[in-house]
Amino acid sequence: MKTTQSEAGIEVTSERRGDGPPLILLHGGMAPAEYWSPVVPHLDGYTAVVPQRPGFGTCLDEPTETSADDVLNREVEYVRTLVDGVDGDPILFGHSFGALTAVEAATEVTVGAVVAYEPAILPDDYRAKADLADRMQTLIEAGERREAVKRYIEHVLHPDGTDDLDAWLAEWPIWPECVDLAEAVVRMNRAVEQYRLPNSLDVPAPVLVLTGTDGPDFLRESARATHEAVPHSRLVEFDGVSHGGPTEAPELISEEVDAFLRSKSIAFP
């Protein structure tokens, strides 16, 4: 484990695995650091930097009244601290909320490349009706924290429904401990609901945007919009892969990531 502290006082602890160009892995909402365990063995030519983040990020420690902008800004500063803690310009590989953070951070921080798997960005028509944060907040205020987190899981992880959510949760490694993150998840969702993708994102580094045909339609739409908003990007869609692509098809996705980086002479000039 390595611990790095920024000038702003943000402390980051990360695990380093492998040897090669630094590859910072940013997981999505509520996922543990172990989310990347299936991916790392397929990227053994890189130094995988896996942050040991509480919940989905440092906004877990923010006060309840933190604004949506503050949440994302805090995440960007967290990434900046990770970048400052490695030699050279690292590659950012983010999933879902981590992908949104990676893309935003790359507008302010110098990185070698960005890989974004289905960034947690809502299309305008979808965002106009999004109310998950409010529904979760209402349940929390009613003392139903567990139900609030279940609504998130149901809406984000199982948008097409599941026959038995309780049975699925019983097998989920972080349930029910993740209920402690209820307020943080509300803040994250509010940040996502209020985020508007600009027509153009000033990301100097090459960007690989990934999506799967079996994921939510709105995230596939947002992946395409992200691809169009950044100047140096490539879009790849995987047949039969869902929103959990990095853990669902780690070898397939890692091969695409490695090929992209090699084609840009980023990882191995």
pLDDT in tens, 14-65: 889 988 999 999 988 777 777 899 999 999 899 999 987 654 444 444 455 4
Q: Which two tokens stand for residue 43?
A: 């990227």
- Lowest pLDDT segment from 69-83, 131-145, 212-226: 69-83
pTM over 0.75: yes
The mean pLDDT value of the chain amounts to 87
For the cut 50, the answer to whether the pLDDT of residue 265 exceeds it is: yes
pLDDT at 27: 87
Q: Which two tokens stand for residue 185?
A: 């998840």
What percent of the chain lies above the pLDDT cut of 70? 92
Residue range 196-222: average pLDDT? 93
For the cut 60, the answer to whether the pLDDT of residue 224 exceeds it is: yes
In this structure, are residues 253 and 246 in contact, taking their beta carbons and an 8 Å threshold? yes
Give residue limits of the domains in the chain.
2-124+198-263
- Lowest pLDDT segment from 65-74, 95-104, 258-267: 65-74
Give the pLDDT band (50/70/90) at residue 69: confident
pLDDT at 55: 47
Residue range 256-263: average pLDDT? 95
CATH architecture of structural domain 2-124+198-263: 3-Layer(aba) Sandwich (3.40)
In this structure, are residues 8 and 77 in contact, taking their beta carbons and an 8 Å threshold? yes
Q: Taking Cα atoms as reference points, which of 96, 89, 125, 94 lies closest to residue 267?
A: 89
25/187 Cα distance (integer angstroms): 22
Instruction: Tell the burial category of 214 from Cβ atoms under 10 Å away from its Cβ (0-12, 13-18, 19+).
Output: middle
195/100 Cα distance (integer angstroms): 10
Cα diameter, the chain: 57
Residue corresponding to tokens 């090459």: 206
Q: Taking Cα atoms as reference points, which of 126, 89, 109 lies closest to residue 225?
A: 126
Phi/psi at 215 (5° precision): -85, 175
Residue range 67-74: average pLDDT? 80
Residue range 227-234: average pLDDT? 94
pLDDT at 178: 84
Phi/psi at 62 (5° precision): -80, 150
Is the alpha carbon torsion for 235, 264, 91, 256 positive or negative? Answer: positive
